[in-house]
Chain A
Amino acid sequence: MKFSQLLVDFAFLLDNSPTYNKVKRFFRNLLTNDDYKYKRYFDYFMIFLILSSVVIIIEEVKTPISKWLYYYDVYFVTGVFIVEYLLRLWVYNDIHKIIIEEFENSVFLEREFDTKKVLKEIIRSKLEYILSPLSIIDLLAILPSYREVRILRIFVLFRVFKLLRYSQNIQHFLQVLTSKKVELFTLLILVAFVILISGISLYVFEEHANPNINTLFDAFYWSLVTISTVGYGDITPVTTEGRGITIVIILTGIGLISFATSIIVSAFSERLEEVRTNRILSAIKRLEEYYIICGYTHMARLFVKRLERDKKSFLIIDLDKKVVDEALNAGYLAICADASKKDTFKNINFDKVKAVMALTDSDMHNIYICLNIRSFSKDVFLVSRTIDTSSQKKLKLAGADYLISPYITAGLFAAKVIEQPIAIEAINDILTARKNALCDQVEVIHDSFLDGARVGEIDFSRYKLILLGVVRSLDGSKGAKWGANRRFIFNPPADFVLKVDDILVIMGYSISISHFKSEVIESSLKNVRKKR
């Protein structure tokens, strides 16, 4: 009674402690969450420990190793392994949750708190972890440090197995193989059956005639060597009956080997696409900020090229496998999926997505994509291509923030091209960044030399730049997103005073622009330092 009370109090204490939960979450992420950014470094560290300990043990076979290496191997590596093992056991599940659940059940059903049942459940759950294959490998990997028992040295190999945990490639490989569990199992049974029959019959026929076959084990060994087409030849049949059996298992062996190969190959070809998609998704997860482009159309290609030049990240989604392959060959991240299906985006964290673009050739499809995206994220900036003017309203309703239509842009340019061909060409060159001359924006950063300066005071010609104008936000809304309430002030007069969050629109060569930008940032940093 007293003990159970203590147990429940303790469980609630843990459940309510933010520090405990935080620490546990940290370790859980570190050990088990592939998307956690520090897990990678932890993995590398463990791989290093494993490899170094393996090298030490190999070295030890021939020459005595130095005392320090011995200490490192026995105490440090093993120590880390033990700590890791215990941590994994700890984060596997939450004991206090089991206790609390039982407590709540007992209150609800108005029966006594069953301490025994709780303890049993706790032990059962922890045992479940201890007996899982990976955990057994972990445990065996700790053993070799007990060097007094020589046979335990062999368990060093388990340290190598431990690598499995830290390498995704091997895990993918295992996943692929498990998808063919039934076929592989059938194959195994078949092989076992053939070995059993042929081994026993060889033993019966040759035990007296062949000096190399003394036990049943020898016969099985011979049978496996023959069926696998390895054929060492250390044991060869001498009787006619024995040779007859050999002929049969050699033929069976060829069949079985090709069977095994075909299973594995087909497993890979079936799952390869999936594995590749997974890899790309996990690569995407590591990015800080990226665009999603649905439909790798001609427009998307041109857009992507611009992004690539700026070293921005993006993910391409397209239905057509051929098109996706093309994008992959160009070195982009691309997956073959239907952007209007829910499953496609279920693993995507939209907080990191800068904008989603629906650029397919069909208005209807773009509408579906917009609706689908909006069902995941209300705020992500959503751009859609439109073809028919009539679908513009529908796309807006579907949640698109910005519509782009090649027809309308073409129309706008058409009129200007006739009127001012040179100017338009100049603008075009600037916009396409074709000739190194660019148009760019520079935000007025707090405390930089731009902050509070008059436009006339800044010597733009020294920087070899032109100030086209200033964009000032009207309602104090921050950030440089499209569609905010802002005003463009063309060619501001010399006494125009800049303030924080104004955006200068400048024109010039890329080198002048980056020089100017870095000076702005530097001056801001300098002032911050001065204040300190």
Chain B
Amino acid sequence: MSERNDRVLVFGFGRYGEQVAKNLAAESYDVYIADFDKEALNHASKEGFENLLVVDIHSDEHITEILLEHGFDKVFCAYDDEEKNIYLTITFKALFPKIEVIAICESKESERKLKLAGADKVIDTMVAAANRLYFVLEKPAVAEAMDEILFKDKSLTFKEIVVPAGSFLDGKNINDYNWSEEFRLIIIGIVDKELGNRFIFITRGINHKIDAGDILVVIGKKRDIERFERLLGKKERA
């Protein structure tokens, strides 16, 4: 795993916060935990988290102070209480509009409010859980495959690759390559700059022309992806 210095601030160490923090730590992020509740912070320290902050979410000065001191650029609102998450999101967006805010919610209604409040990413946990349930019961093979790719098999990973200018892909069409054989990668989709910044599934059947700046979303073994990225990094000598 590549070393990362990304600092993430997780607000709230309840049921969600704990899981979020643990998973972030497993991905070797530098996790900071903020909560007002002493007991929650005690619990966090027992779970092995060192960077603990006591923060009152109602005090704007306090929050500003902390953010300036540590320089976070990613914040997780992971309170079990949806209202707190919404309030926090608004607070952050008011104080530091540039910070990336990811919030957790449990209902469609809160998701809407969070998006209105300006959250960059919203995770609707109930939708995620219901989907998971559906796949386990109706399409277990898919569930297994997703598990394997996303969580279990550490050597497999999703990756977003930005096509650098002047690389061998620049100006080529997607169908010019047999991706799964030549690079041992599966390409799922592309964010094509020419077609607006939208994600398009590859199975749409359109033979996209790849330009510099497009983002390819691929799945593959880590070493294959690294090899591919190295290939991309080389300037085309034409």
Contact = CB atoms under 8 A, between A and B. Distances in A.
Given A414-B24, A422-B215, A357 B145 contact: no
B62 to A, nearest CB: 24
B13 to A, nearest CB: 12
Task: Name the residue in A383, A418, A465 with the highest tally of chain B Cβ atoms < 10 Å from its Cβ.
Answer: A418
Interface in A399-432: 402, 404-429, 431-432
Contacts of A464: 203-205
Contacts of B159: 420, 423
B49 to A, nearest CB: 14
Task: Name the residue in A355, A409, A471, A481 with the highest tally of chain B Cβ atoms < 10 Å from its Cβ.
Answer: A409
Query: Secondary structure of the A side of the interface?
Result: mixed
B153 to A, nearest CB: 7
A279 B189 CA distance: 49
A494 interface: yes
A125 to B, nearest CB: 49
A410 B138 contact: no
Nearest to B105: A410
A424 B46 CA distance: 31
Contacts of A302: 126-127, 130-131
B186 A468 contact: yes
A299 interface: yes
Contacts of A425: 199
A507 B149 contact: no
Interface residues of A, number: 76
Given A417-B121, A427-B146, A507-B188, A437 B23 contact: no
A436 B139 CA distance: 17
Contacts of B142: 439-441, 505
Contacts of A146: none
Query: Secondary structure of the B side of the interface?
Result: helix
Interface string A472-495: 000000001110001010110110
Interface in A218-274: none
A124 interface: no
B202 A410 contact: no
Contacts of B131: 302, 306, 431-432
B51 to A, nearest CB: 17
Interface stretch (B14-22, B91-99, B229-237): B14-22
B86 interface: no
Contacts of B40: none
A291 interface: yes
Nearest to B107: A298
Nearest to B175: A461
Contacts of B170: none
A503 B141 contact: yes
A303 B20 contact: no
B115 to A, nearest CB: 14
A509 B129 contact: no
B158 A291 contact: no
Interface in B91-113: 102, 104, 106-107
Contact of A466 (B29, B140, B146, B186): B186
B151 to A, nearest CB: 6
B218 to A, nearest CB: 9
A491 B19 contact: no
A415 B26 contact: yes
B26 A355 contact: no
A500 interface: no
Contact of A291 (B130, B137, B146, B215): B137
A509 B204 contact: yes
Nearest to B184: A491
A414 B139 CA distance: 24
Nearest to A291: B137
Given A411-B22, A415-B24, A505-B141, A466 B202 contact: yes
B23 A419 contact: no
B199 A469 contact: no
A416 B150 contact: yes
B45 interface: no
Contact of B145 (A300, A417, A469): A469
Given A310-B138, A410-B123, A417-B102, A357 B133 contact: yes
B144 A410 contact: no
Given A402-B136, A420-B158, A427-B150, A437 B125 contact: no
Contacts of B107: 298
Contacts of A423: 158-160, 188, 217
B98 to A, nearest CB: 16
Contacts of B156: 490
Contacts of B145: 439, 468-469, 471, 488, 490, 505
B201 A405 contact: no
A418 B146 contact: no
A441 B146 CA distance: 12
B159 to A, nearest CB: 7
Nearest to A504: B141
A428 B185 CA distance: 20
A482 B160 contact: no
B128 A418 contact: no
A435 B189 CA distance: 13
Given A420-B159, A482-B140, A509-B203, A494 B132 contact: no
Contacts of A505: 141-142, 145
B74 interface: yes
Given A420-B160, A505-B141, A415 B29 contact: yes
Nearest to A383: B133
B180 interface: yes
A312 interface: yes
A508 B26 CA distance: 32
Given A417-B121, A482-B140, A488-B148, A299 B134 contact: no
A512 interface: yes
A307 interface: yes
Contacts of B150: 412, 416, 427
Interface of B: 6, 8, 15-16, 18-20, 22-24, 26-27, 29, 74, 76, 78, 102, 104, 106-107, 121, 123, 125-146, 148-151, 153, 156, 158-160, 175, 180-181, 184-189, 191, 199, 201-205, 215, 217, 219-221
5 contacts: A299-B129, A299-B130, A410-B125, A416-B150, A437-B201
Given A468-B186, A505-B142, 20 more contacts: A302-B126, A312-B138, A407-B16, A410-B104, A415-B27, A422-B160, A423-B158, A427-B146, A431-B146, A432-B131, A439-B142, A466-B203, A468-B149, A469-B145, A471-B145, A482-B140, A488-B145, A490-B153, A490-B221, A505-B141
